[in-house]
Structure 1
Amino acid sequence: MEGITNSAEEQQPSTPLSNSWSNKQESSKNEKPKPVGGFVLVHAGAGYHSESKAKEYKHVCKRACQRAVDRLKAGALAVEAVTAALVELEDSPFTNAGMGSNLNLSGGIECDASIMDGKSLHYGAVGAISGIKNPVLVANRLLSEAQRGKLSAGRIPPCFLVGRGAHDWAVSHGIPPCPSEKMFSLSAYKRNKRKMELAEKLDTGHNQTKKRRQSCENVSFINGGNHGCLDTVGAVVVDLEGNVAAAVSSGGLAMKHPGRVGQAAHYGCGCWAENTCNMNPYSTAVSTSGCGEHLIRTMLARECSTAMQSEDAHQALLEAMQNKFISSPFLASEDRVLGGVIVLRCCRCVEAPPSQNIQGILVEFLWSHTTESMCVGYMSAQDSKAKTHISRLPPGTVPGQCLAIEGGVCRLSVVE
């Protein structure tokens, strides 16, 4: 197996999570402080991250982590925190999601997004939605509406809406529309249009080898737009109750056909979250990125979640990426299989003798990609700032035919 790297970091909180509420203890000495906190892992897309924009990619990951941790410190559950992280990623002009989305063939923006709650196992998604600045807010609202139960006359509430219907539903539920002209760059569209036309001209040429090479180069650049060939952004979160949640958001491929819906909206393909139960010893949360069609045909998010129930998380993810993705029989006709995942799994653990009543959550977090690079950030509620990293394939390896895998461990402590 080629191109495998591994690193691990262990974060030890310096104080128990209950200390984060110490300022309130003066006014409520007789009340037991409510523990707050958790952990977040985000990604800014799998693809190619240029060195010239590395600082911007890392910065947006830091902001997304901080946004989620702020919500966790305020007592929010995992779903609310993961939504906050995605809003920050969608608001950045450097990511291919929300405000920074790629343009389709018609020069418009159509976004995909989904979110999943590991506690209720509910899921909400939107596909090819236009005129909404933060598609993840619509996906999250669909999820929360589904949790309320059936509609009038016993109707089942929708979990996945697309196109104009998704836009109108969002507006009717209080999510403000955003004028399309505020969400795209006309110059980028014209530039990509010229490159696509050049690629189409090459398709009529007689030199097949040169045609394939140059066409691939042009389409690769087009798909990156201003993002260096980046796709879906996402996040995974665990709160101190042990609930997990995952979310993804994407502007899709540049110059895509109007109406195309990528993996970011598809169930089991863009994200997955599932709390521990009798059958599963671990809670797991997964968010994917890369070529949507490859991720849809392999249902990679759910495959990785299932794999994480094995004892060795690192080995399990490595085998899942190799056997369920790169070597998947569903992608046998593909020369290069492009994608990336961030994965979080956790379980309750006892960190002291039972008499001290101290418990915690052991969090293992990993990322893996077959693309040239993937930018990630992570942070616990005890950290003063997020850590970021641009993971790259080892030199000399071929994107789409090999993989990189890295990760770490974090222990979250709480006095009960």
Structure 2
Amino acid sequence: MRMSISEPALPEMGMRFLKAGASATEAVEASLRVLEDKEITNAGYGSNLSIDGTVECDATIVDHLGRSGACGAVTNIRNPISLAKLIFDGSKRPLSLRRVPPNALVGEGAKIYAEEHGMATFANDYLVSKNSRDRFLRWQDDLLRAEAKAKEASSVQKTPAAMHCAPCQYDTIPAKPNISFPRDHAAAIMSGTWNEGQPNSPYLPPPGIDDAQQAELTTLGITQNSWNHARNPSWKTSYHGTNSSKKHGNLPRSNQGHVNDGENDDLAVRPKESNAIGVGSVNDESTWQQPRRRRKAQKRPLDGPDNSEDTSTKRQHVVEEDGDCVTDTIGAIAIDEEGLIAAGSSSGGIGMKHRGRLGPAALVGVGTAVVPCQPDDEDAVSVAAVTSGTGEHMATTMASQRCAERLYNGTRKGPAGTDIHDYDENAIMESFIANDFMGHPGVCNGPSAGAIGIMAVKKTRAGYYLHFAHNTDSFALASMGGKDPTPTCVMSRLPEGSKIAQGSRKISTK
């Protein structure tokens, strides 16, 4: 499936709603519905399948007051963001006998709620795309092989004579010089079913398919014409790692009330026309087909008694010179003509998950959060954030809520957990990933690596500031202001040797 930047599939659909007078929550729903209908994303149609082949989706929507609607582990729903919006709308209507209306429903109860309110439900097969079925069968085969190896190893350990036998020999592909192995979280993602950052469409061409046929099977990401951040002067980006200097002055500092607009002057919008919308998706480099970049890396098998396999079953992960594949959780943030902000996220969760697993996209403060504006705040500051990555770690750290609060308060984590005020929001975003997330005891001592991508918008009277940061190998997002003729798309990549990549954009309201 190929999409061009002119197709109203991403911010343009939300912008059409905003310009027609729709609320920010309606614009968020409209944008995410379009993405849910595309099988290239892990949300709605074409989502990852659970261990028994069922599609279970999560979604959340939050308005400018912090009110929310959410659904989790819900089956037979093609557009979970619409169900979240339905629950959100229902939560604002009082019930008889002083009952409190729900703002979050899961499983069968969420499905029944949808049916009671006239939302269409679909058979599970209708929600399964060809790619998602192929992934399921492939991962199912991986699990069966891993279980067989575990049983074989267990039986060998129980045999006394086995202690005197020579160790079993496995053929392995010798390591090639000058080939760098992926980082821990990338390797975990490549190996199978770990977190929201896992491959939605792991590249494994059937035997006999030539290069031309493989190219036809390639799907593109947010836009066929997505370009690198280096080609986008309206985006300010920076990277931080062990060998990079920490220069933060090149990013907007909304606390100071202005930035060096430079190339952004044409993006200025009037207060009553200050519509803005941003959408994003985070994923690991191993699932993106990157232009001008080749990598041929060994696909690591599932962890078992022995991580080596026969050479005939080794799988090659190849990154071809082609477009990018967007295959993960989706999120959106919108600001309507009244200056009210809203955010939402949607996901199909991890592949081969246990039935009933509740993902971060269904949890307010984990996948989506809004810090509302205070009535006596002269600057009218409010912040919205959406995140994706290792869901269990994000729940441990309350990722989206923590990030939004950091930007709202202008603080970062200091020694002994103290808060340090910082006017540089670039430093705040970097510190959030490095200290609040990766440095959290629950993440440091967890069994899986921590991967995260964040998109946040800080709304002030001086302007709207879109920030993003990620420690994954790539991060795709697009934004659009009320005066922009087309969306601005960015494919951010983590440079070699860096640990965090980030960028930002300002849309002026003057």
1:186-245, Cα deviation, whole Å (9 max, x unpaired): 3332122112333445556589xx9x9998743169942327394321011112322110
Indicate the residue corresponding to 1:381 in structure 2.
482
Indicate the residue corresponding to 2:98 in structure 1.
154
Asked whether 1:142 is paired with 2:87, we answer: yes
Distance 1:298 1:60 in 2: 38
| CA gap 1:178/1:333 in 2 versus in 1, 3 angstroms | same
Distance 1:124 1:297 in 2: 21
Distance 1:122 1:275 in 2: 9
Q: Is the 8 A contact 2:382 2:459 kept in 1?
A: yes
Asked whether 1:69 is paired with 2:15, we answer: yes
Please show how residues 192-271 of structure 1 align to structure 2 within 5 Å: 192-201=139-148, 217-219=190-192, 223-226=198-201, 228=287, 230-271=327-368
Distance 2:489 2:329 in 1: 18
Partner of residue 298 from structure 1, selected from 397, 402, 422: 397
Q: Is the 8 A contact 1:368 1:404 kept in 2?
A: yes
Asked whether 1:87 is paired with 2:41, we answer: no
Paired amino acid for 1:242: G
Distance 2:494 2:381 in 1: 29
Asked whether 1:132 is paired with 2:244, we answer: no
SS in 1 for 2:9: helix
Aligned-pair CA distance for 1:62: 6.3
Partner of residue 163 from structure 1, selected from 107, 120, 139: 107
Q: State TM-score, norm by structure 1.
A: 0.75
Distance 1:367 1:216 in 2: 21
Aligned-pair CA distance for 1:336: 2.4
Aligned-pair CA distance for 1:384: 1.0
Indicate the residue corresponding to 2:441 in structure 1.
329
Indicate the residue corresponding to 2:49 in structure 1.
103
Indicate the residue corresponding to 1:356 in structure 2.
none
Distance 2:365 2:349 in 1: 17
| CA gap 1:167/1:187 in 2 versus in 1, 3 angstroms | same
Aligned-pair CA distance for 1:59: 5.4
Distance 1:324 1:123 in 2: 24
Partner of residue 342 from structure 1, selected from 455, 466, 477: 455
Partner of residue 284 from structure 1, selected from 383, 386, 402: 383
Aligned-pair CA distance for 1:91: 0.9
Aligned-pair CA distance for 1:378: 0.6
| CA gap 1:393/1:220 in 2 versus in 1, 3 angstroms | farther
Distance 1:188 1:232 in 2: 16
Distance 1:121 1:115 in 2: 9
Q: Is the 8 A contact 1:289 1:339 kept in 2?
A: yes
Distance 1:409 1:291 in 2: 29
SS in 1 for 2:192: helix
Q: Percent identity?
A: 31
Distance 1:231 1:292 in 2: 12
Is there any run of 5+ residues in structure 2 with no aligned partner, and where?
154-166, 173-183, 203-286, 289-326, 411-422
SS in 2 for 1:297: helix
Distance 1:98 1:347 in 2: 33
| CA gap 1:330/1:70 in 2 versus in 1, 3 angstroms | same
1:51-104, Cα deviation, whole Å (9 max, x unpaired): xx9x75x85996220111000100112111111111111111100000121001
Q: State TM-score, norm by structure 2.
A: 0.62
SS in 1 for 2:73: strand
| CA gap 1:217/1:382 in 2 versus in 1, 3 angstroms | closer
Aligned pair count? 339
Distance 1:365 1:131 in 2: 34
Q: Is the 8 A contact 1:283 1:346 kept in 2?
A: yes
- The structure with the greater share of residues assigned to helix is 1
SS in 2 for 1:348: coil
Indicate the residue corresponding to 2:124 in structure 1.
180
Distance 2:7 2:146 in 1: 34
Distance 1:241 1:314 in 2: 28
Q: Is the 8 A contact 2:6 2:486 kept in 1?
A: no
Distance 1:408 1:276 in 2: 21
Distance 2:339 2:440 in 1: 32
Q: Is the 8 A contact 1:231 1:253 kept in 2?
A: no
Paired amino acid for 1:110: E
Paired amino acid for 1:226: S
Q: Is the 8 A contact 1:62 1:386 kept in 2?
A: no
| CA gap 1:297/1:190 in 2 versus in 1, 3 angstroms | same
Q: Is the 8 A contact 2:190 2:199 kept in 1?
A: no
Indicate the residue corresponding to 1:48 in structure 2.
none
Q: Which stretch shifts more, 333-342 or 124-133? A: 333-342
Q: Is the 8 A contact 1:196 1:219 kept in 2?
A: no
Aligned-pair CA distance for 1:133: 0.6
Larger radius of gyration between Structure 1 and Structure 2: 2
Distance 1:217 1:197 in 2: 18
Partner of residue 469 from structure 2, selected from 368, 371, 382: 368
